Amino acid sequence: MQHSIDGNRLWARLMAMAEIGAIPENGSCRQSLSDEDEAGRTLFLKWCLSRGYKIRRDRIGNLFVRRAGSHPEAAPVLIGSHLDTQPTGGRFDGVLGVLAGLEVLETLDDRGVETTRSIELCVWTNEEGCRFQPAMMGSGVACGSLDLETALSARDISGITLAGEIARHGYDSHPVPRLDEADCYIELHIEQGPILEAAQKTIGVVTGGQGIRWYELSVLGEETHAGPVPMALRKDPVPMLTQIIQLVQAIGRINADARCTIGKICLSPGSINVVPGCADMTVDLRHPDEAGLDDMHRRLMDGLEMIRRAHGEVELQVRPIWHSPVIAFDQHLIEAVRTSASNRQLPFQRVTSGAGHDAFNLARRLPATMIFIPCRKGISHNPREYAEPYHVSAGANVLLDVVLGRAE
Ligand SMILES: [Zn+2]
């Protein structure tokens, strides 16, 4: 028998949560471990407590809300997302996955459905990474990919430590985060990109996350006066810089899945009448399969070597600083999402996640997947972020189906 969630209740809760830390243009500001973030969690826990769910906290501030199954020893099904937002965040990023998770638990209660496995709704601390770095912190610590002490020593821009905020909100008396044996993890999220809306699809069957490689490049020349020194005698980093920009743009066009971004360029000293002594830049390469990302990496390295040889007047330094491998979600869970969308006659398509999510940390430990719904014009991390109530309900229903299939 097919059950369905209460779309009105879920929508009302999304709107109620958005009132906490409300900012102009319908946005929300609940940066991690701020008073607003804590107030949002308090409201969420009030809803959970009224249903009698068992609540646990850990020392990094993660919350775990458990609806017990009939076999408490069976590995639980984990669902969840995050309640923190960007400083100018919207109403759906993260919040949707948490409140749709609560909606799944309540729907099972309302329909009197007993599951074999327990279902555990997780609220991960500091997914956004805007106030404290790195992002996806709570899930990273729980999954063992980030050290607890490193996380606790993070400072915000005003010098406040994460450890201090953890203590202020009373999380420091709770146990060290540790992911218990679990069956799987499923996260519903807005797409944060324009693909589903453009294709008029309701459900994104997320197959994984893009691999990412980051580089810092420096071109070192010699600062000199813009007037007296003839062009041929300069050690100007800019001619090499322009070739590097062309190279990176060309790599971004080798196929439709490739993404290349030069996000930062800095010329020093940055004066109108000085030939710069140094050009610093960053390169971000992404691709949904590792072989594709490797190919982009090789093209970048080979291209930079050719450019280096053509410009003996300046020195090129290349520093690869980060490599996050491609995340492949679990085939059975991907298939369960696809089947649910198909059974409910919801238009769907397979997508890869362009943004990072807590599910990536979980996927390194457990079978995991994500479900995406469209957001208007792909806009996110913005007060104007918006998801249609119909899409919100559809996504929560698919989450319900996949969870039930796993927990029954
Ligand atoms: Zn998010």
Tell me which residue range forms the domain holding 38.
Answer: 7-210+326-407
Q: Which ranges of 188-253 would DSSP assign to H, the alpha helix? A: 195-199, 238-251
Question: Are 334 and 384 in a shared domain?
Answer: yes
Long-range contacts of 308-312 (CB under 8 A, 24+ apart): 310/243, 311/239, 311/240, 311/243
Q: Whats the size of the chain, residue-wise? A: 408
CATH assignment at residue 292:
3.30.70.360
pLDDT of 4 reads 97
Question: Among residues 184, 190, 191, which one has the least CA distance to residue 405?
Answer: 184
What separation in Å is there between the alpha carbon of 385 and the centre of ligand 1? 12
State the Cα angle at 49 between 47 and 55, rounded to 5°.
Answer: 115
Question: Are 200 and 269 in a shared domain?
Answer: no
Residue whose tokens read 């009373």: 170
Q: Are 235 and 218 in contact (CB under 8 A)?
A: no
Question: Rounded to whole angstroms, how far apart are CA atoms 6 and 80?
Answer: 18
Question: Are 343 and 197 in a shared domain?
Answer: yes
Question: Rounded to whole angstroms, how far apart are CA atoms 149 and 141?
Answer: 9
What separation in Å is there between the alpha carbon of 299 and the centre of ligand 1? 32
What separation in Å is there between the alpha carbon of 318 and the centre of ligand 1? 32
What separation in Å is there between the alpha carbon of 150 and the centre of ligand 1? 22
Instruction: Confirm whether 1 is domain-assigned.
Output: no
pLDDT of 23 reads 96
State both tokens at 179. 């992911």
Work out how many domains the chain is built from and give that number.
2
Question: Are 226 and 238 in a shared domain?
Answer: yes
pLDDT of 323 reads 87
Ion ligand 1 residues within 5 Å by Cβ: 93-94
Instruction: Confirm whether 340 is domain-assigned.
Output: yes
Question: Are 347 and 262 in a shared domain?
Answer: no
Contacts with 309 (C-beta within 8 Å, 6 or more apart), sequence order: none
Question: Are 195 and 217 in a shared domain?
Answer: no
Helix/strand/coil for 328? strand
What separation in Å is there between the alpha carbon of 70 and the centre of ligand 1? 32
What separation in Å is there between the alpha carbon of 190 and the centre of ligand 1? 8
Question: Rounded to whole angstroms, how far apart are CA atoms 184 and 406?
Answer: 8
DSSP state letters, 64-117:
EEEE--S-TTSPPEEEEE-----TTB-SSTTHHHHHHHHHHHHHHHHTT---SS
What separation in Å is there between the alpha carbon of 386 and the centre of ligand 1? 14
Question: Rounded to whole angstroms, how far apart are CA atoms 191 and 351?
Answer: 9
Choosing from 306, 324, 342, the residue where a domain stops is: 324
pLDDT of 395 reads 98
Instruction: Confirm whether 229 is domain-assigned.
Output: yes
What separation in Å is there between the alpha carbon of 358 and the centre of ligand 1? 8
Question: Are 269 and 382 in a shared domain?
Answer: no
Q: Are 349 and 199 in contact (CB under 8 A)?
A: yes
State both tokens at 7. 């779309």
Question: Could you tell me the CA-to-CA distances from 316 to 154, 218, 237, 257 in Å, in that order?
Answer: 32, 6, 9, 28
pLDDT of 352 reads 93
What separation in Å is there between the alpha carbon of 269 and the centre of ligand 1? 38
Question: Rounded to whole angstroms, how far apart are CA atoms 397 and 408?
Answer: 16
Instruction: Confirm whether 113 is domain-assigned.
Output: yes
Element (H, E) at 152: helix 148-152
Neighbours of 248 (CB within 10 A): 23
What separation in Å is there between the alpha carbon of 97 and the centre of ligand 1? 9
Strand pairing of 348-353 and 203-209? parallel
Which parts of the chain register pLDDT below 70? none
What separation in Å is there between the alpha carbon of 126 and the centre of ligand 1? 10
DSSP annotation of 323 reads E
Choosing from 324, 341, 370, the residue where a domain stops is: 324
Question: Rounded to whole angstroms, how far apart are CA atoms 242 and 230?
Answer: 19
Question: Are 150 and 35 in a shared domain?
Answer: yes
Question: Are 37 and 165 in a shared domain?
Answer: yes
Choosing from 324, 351, 375, the residue where a domain stops is: 324
> Whole-prediction pTM value?
0.88
pLDDT of 180 reads 84
What separation in Å is there between the alpha carbon of 88 and the centre of ligand 1? 13
Question: Rounded to whole angstroms, how far apart are CA atoms 104 and 82?
Answer: 16
